[in-house]
Amino acid sequence: MKFGTSYILALFLLLFLACGNDDDMVTSPVDEDIDLSNIPYDPQPFDLVIPDSFPQMEIPADNPITVAGQDLGRHLFYDPVLSADSSMSCSSCHLQNSSFTDNRAVSIGIDGIGGTRSSMSLLNIGFNYNGLFWDGRSLTLEEQALLPVEDPIELHNLWPDVIDKLQASDLYREKFRKAFGIGLASEITKELAVKALAQFERSIVSSGNSWFDQVIYGNDPTKQFEDDELNGFLMFFDQSNGALPDAECGHCHPAPLFTTDEYINNGLDPASEPVDFLDPGYGTVTQFPSDFGRFRVPTLRNIALTAPYMHDGRFQTLEEVVEHYNSGGHHAPNIDPLITPLELTPEQQQDLIAFLKTLSDMDVVENPLYSNPF
Amino acid sequence: MPLSRKVFKMKKLFLYSIVLFGCTLMSCGDDEVPVGTTSEVTLNFTANYGTNMLDSDTQTTHDFEEESTVRFTEFRFFISDVVFTTEEGTDETALIEIDEIDFSRSNMDAKYIRSVPTGKYSGIKFFIGVEAEFNNTKPEEYASEHPLANTASYWLAWNSYIHCKLEGFLDNGTANEIPFSYHTGSDDLLRSVTIPYNITLAADGSFDLDIMVDVEKILYKNDTYWNIEEFPATHNPSNPDDLNTANYIMDNLSEAFKIQ
């Protein structure tokens, strides 16, 4: 009897030790797992078409874009399965026809709670290597895609619950198998899910067919800017040889991507000290005092489709944006020295807006490769 | 110890020696630098304003003319074709092909460690800015980690990389600070710097070379400070005032380096 008790105790101890804090432990019993090896796995590289004027995209070696991976990412992007109540997906705040923004000042999550910042465009996001979100808190798209799912003011879900649903889905078992060659349904993980989402996001690239691209890079002399567009272009890049004011735009928004992805204070709010900024922005991430109140410079490609503007959506129109820069903004110790009064006339402000509209790329917002597959 | 065992032990020792000698020979293959012909050189670039350390991150103010002060929010410049020179002037040892030094965050941003052939050198030479060979290229031609990939350092109006960026604010006691932003580009504004300095690199040794740039000297010449209020920016190469300012900045910058 004594031997029996010791034996049971020892067995219990062994079981206890075996059930340690191992996050990687597969909780689904093996006998309930689904063998996927009968589904063909034949990864084909995705044909990423990048305009000639663009840089090459640097894609992580451990996550090349494949046809099946991009397709899986697209399904996950549009599928409300990622949210706790199945009411919202990534696409709820990144609508294709709004150049992957949501046209709200701040985004609203599944519980109806508004966030503090505006949804950023995903257009050409694969060319960003300087941090994501307005404050740069994620360094890679894979890392970034983990966060909204569990953010209480966004999709407010738990990754284990999402993975349970994906593992139970015939559609996703097949798509994960085709994308990543997994052998069992239990091998569907959040790490693979965000890899697929990142593949889809990297595939969202300008068509190179905007009016700006046709005029500047198209090598077709018959395509010329209208007068107002040309004036706007000359002021934007300070190319008028002094005939027009320098609007100072091109420093932070250089072609071809129309962003440097740097973090600057563009004079939105007055501040005497770093602590004065209601939203510390980049300072939250770096903790450098002079980074407080700085935000990532967004791309201006498709800017006419992404109102309202700024990190908090305070400006409803491009007219308001241009007026802000024309005024020179509000002083703060770390305001960018290029934010100075521009002294543009109302007509020149309209010319600048006419130029900004040449950056609209309707092909990208109608491309079926980026559209809702459901 | 019996003699036979002693003989056996000596034979074994001899065998080990042969093997060891063979291994040593094999390790000196064509691909490896023989031991004792190089020295480790550390190049360290720092920035001062006069005798004070430049620290653009903390918004430190520095004395300017009369009662006014300046503070810097950005100071960065390209260096290219950095070499050690010899007295004969015929043999140059390459150290850095091209890089952008950025003092916008901290005073000591740029440290380079190089393995340099031993011998005597008479100084260091480099260009401030992007040499024409590279200046004809554009950021999109480079991988993101390359110093020339930074789109913020290329300016369409100059059709050139920005050799140097110096930005900040002048406080001259008026209601608002006066912003300044000096961006210089184009092949004509490339400047060469030669700093004579006797350097003897011993085998297997190490050598630290601290190169300091004095930002005050960029804005101060012939006992006079630059008139920031009248000429606060250089963005347009076709504007004579801008071009004059850009030349002033680059000329002074090229004379602002010294070895500490």
Interface list for A 166-225 with B (CB within 8 A): none
Q: Quick check: A102 and A115 in contact, CB under 8 A?
A: no
A61 part of contact set with chain B, CB < 8 Å: no
CA A236, A240, A244, A246 torsion: positive or negative? positive
User: Residue B140 is nearest to which of A53, A238, A333, comparing CB atoms?
Assistant: A53
A320 part of contact set with chain B, CB < 8 Å: no
Average pLDDT estimate for A239-250 = 90
C-alpha–C-alpha distance, residues A119 and A96, integer Å: 12
Confidence of residue B108 (pLDDT cuts 50, 70, 90): low
A331 part of contact set with chain B, CB < 8 Å: yes
Spell out the residues 6+ positions from residue A280 whose beta carbon is closer than 8 angstroms to its own: A135, A274, A292, A293
B231 part of contact set with chain A, CB < 8 Å: no
Q: Looking at CA atoms only, how far is residue B33 from chain A in angstroms?
A: 32
- Mark residue A177 as left, alpha or beta (left: phi above 0; alpha: psi -120 to 50; beta: remaining): alpha
Give contacts of A251 with chain B, Cβ < 8 Å.
152, 155, 183
A365, two tokens: 């917002």
User: Is B157 within 8 Å of A251 when comparing Cβ atoms?
Assistant: no
Inform me whether the pLDDT recorded for A200 exceeds 50: yes
- pLDDT above 90 covers a percentage of chain B that reads 55
C-alpha–C-alpha distance, residues B117 and B94, integer Å: 10
Give the number of A-B residue pairs with CB atoms closer than 8 Å: 79
B155 part of contact set with chain A, CB < 8 Å: yes
User: Is A260 within 8 Å of B150 when comparing Cβ atoms?
Assistant: yes
| Total Cβ atoms within 10 A of residue A259 | 21
Q: Lowest-confidence range among A206-210, B139-143, B247-251?
A: B139-143
The amino acid present at A139, given as its one-letter code, is L
B181 part of contact set with chain A, CB < 8 Å: yes
User: Residue B169 is nearest to which of A238, A246, A337, comparing CB atoms?
Assistant: A337
Please state whether the peptide bond connecting residue A40 to the residue before it is cis, i.e. omega within 30 degrees of 0: no
Q: What are phi and psi of B243, to 5 degrees?
A: -65, -40
B235 part of contact set with chain A, CB < 8 Å: yes
Spell out the long-range contacts of B243-251 with Cβ–Cβ below 8 A and sequence spacing 24 or more.
B245/B182, B246/B182, B246/B184, B246/B185, B246/B189, B247/B189, B248/B221, B249/B164, B249/B166, B249/B182, B249/B184, B249/B218, B250/B128, B250/B129, B250/B163, B250/B164, B250/B184, B250/B189, B250/B190, B250/B191, B251/B191
Mutate to test the interface with A, among B140, B155, B158, B236 (most CBs of A within 10 A): B140
Give contacts of A238 with chain B, Cβ < 8 Å.
157, 235-236
Q: Quick check: A138 and A147 in contact, CB under 8 A?
A: yes
Q: Looking at CA atoms only, how far is residue A274 from chain B in angstroms?
A: 11
Mutate to test the interface with B, among A290, A297, A325 (most CBs of B within 10 A): A290
User: Residue A239 is nearest to which of B151, B157, B179, comparing CB atoms?
Assistant: B157
A100, two tokens: 């992957």
> What are the angstrom distances between the C-alpha of A7 and each of A3, A16, A123, B59, B106?
6, 14, 63, 70, 64
Give the H or E element holding residue A263: strand A263-264
User: Is B168 within 8 Å of A251 when comparing Cβ atoms?
Assistant: no
Confidence of residue B32 (pLDDT cuts 50, 70, 90): very low
Q: Quick check: B86 and B122 in contact, CB under 8 A?
A: yes
Q: Quick check: A364 and A204 in contact, CB under 8 A?
A: yes
Choose from A211-215, B117-121, B148-152, B168-172 the range with maximum mean pLDDT.
A211-215
Choose from A342-356, B108-122, B200-214 the range with maximum mean pLDDT.
A342-356
What three-state secondary structure class fits A264?
strand
CA A242, A244, A247, A253 torsion: positive or negative? negative
B12, two tokens: 């074994």
User: Is A338 within 8 Å of B167 when comparing Cβ atoms?
Assistant: yes
Q: Looking at CA atoms only, how far is residue B227 from chain A in angstroms?
A: 17
Give the H or E element holding residue A96: none
Average pLDDT estimate for A343-348 = 97
Residue A297 DSSP label = P
> What are the angstrom distances between the C-alpha of A245 and each of A19, A236, B178?
70, 9, 18
User: Residue A55 is nearest to which of B58, B59, B140, comparing CB atoms?
Assistant: B140
Radius of gyration of chain B (CA): 26
Q: What is the pLDDT of residue B107?
A: 56
Inform me whether the pLDDT recorded for B23 exceeds 50: no
> What are the angstrom distances between the C-alpha of A110 and each of A73, A82, A102, A113?
21, 11, 14, 7
Q: Looking at CA atoms only, how far is residue B238 from chain A in angstroms?
A: 6
User: Which residue of B lies nearest to A247 if distances are taken between CA atoms?
Assistant: B235
C-alpha–C-alpha distance, residues A350 and B77, integer Å: 35
**Which ipTM score applies to this complex?**
0.79
User: Is A336 within 8 Å of B73 when comparing Cβ atoms?
Assistant: yes
What three-state secondary structure class fits A316?
coil
Q: What are phi and psi of B9, to 5 degrees?
A: -65, -40
Kindly give the pairing relationship between strand B191-201 and strand B206-214: unpaired
Average pLDDT estimate for B159-182 = 91
Q: Quick check: B124 and B188 in contact, CB under 8 A?
A: no
Model pLDDT for residues A8-23, shown as the tens digit of each residue:
444 443 333 333 333 3
Confidence of residue A290 (pLDDT cuts 50, 70, 90): confident
- pLDDT above 90 covers a percentage of chain A that reads 85
Give the H or E element holding residue A321: helix A318-327
What three-state secondary structure class fits A309?
strand
B175 part of contact set with chain A, CB < 8 Å: no
Model pLDDT for residues A93-142, shown as the tens digit of each residue:
999 999 999 999 999 999 999 889 999 999 999 999 999 999 999 999 99
Q: Note the Cα B157 to chain centre separation in Å.
A: 26
Beta-bridged to residue B178, according to DSSP, are: B170
| Total Cβ atoms within 10 A of residue A89 | 21
Kindly give the pairing relationship between strand B93-102 and strand B52-53: unpaired
Give contacts of A289 with chain B, Cβ < 8 Å.
57-59
pTM as predicted: 0.85
Block residue for tokens 């990144």 = A94
Inform me whether the pLDDT recorded for B2 exceeds 50: no
Q: What is the pLDDT of residue B49?
A: 93
Average pLDDT estimate for A328-332 = 93
Q: What is the pLDDT of residue B90?
A: 67
Torsion of CA A345, A348, A354, A356, to 10 degrees: -90
| Total Cβ atoms within 10 A of residue A15 | 9
User: Residue A241 is nearest to which of B57, B154, B238, comparing CB atoms?
Assistant: B238
Residue A35 DSSP label = B
Complete DSSP assignment for chain B = --HHHHHHHHHHHHHHHHHHHHHHHHHT-TTSPPTTSEEEEEEEEEEEETTEEP-GGGT-EEE-STT-EEEEEEEEEEEEEEEEE-TTSS--EEEEEEEEEE-SS-S--EEEEEEEESEEEEEEEEEES--HHHHTS-GGGS-TTSGGG-GGGEETTTTEEEEEEEEEEEE-SSSSPEEEEEEEESGGG-EEEEEEEEEEEPTT-EEEEEEEEEGGGGSEETTEE--TTT--EE--TTSHHHHHHHHHHHHHHHTSEEE-
User: Residue A289 is nearest to which of B58, B167, B168, comparing CB atoms?
Assistant: B58
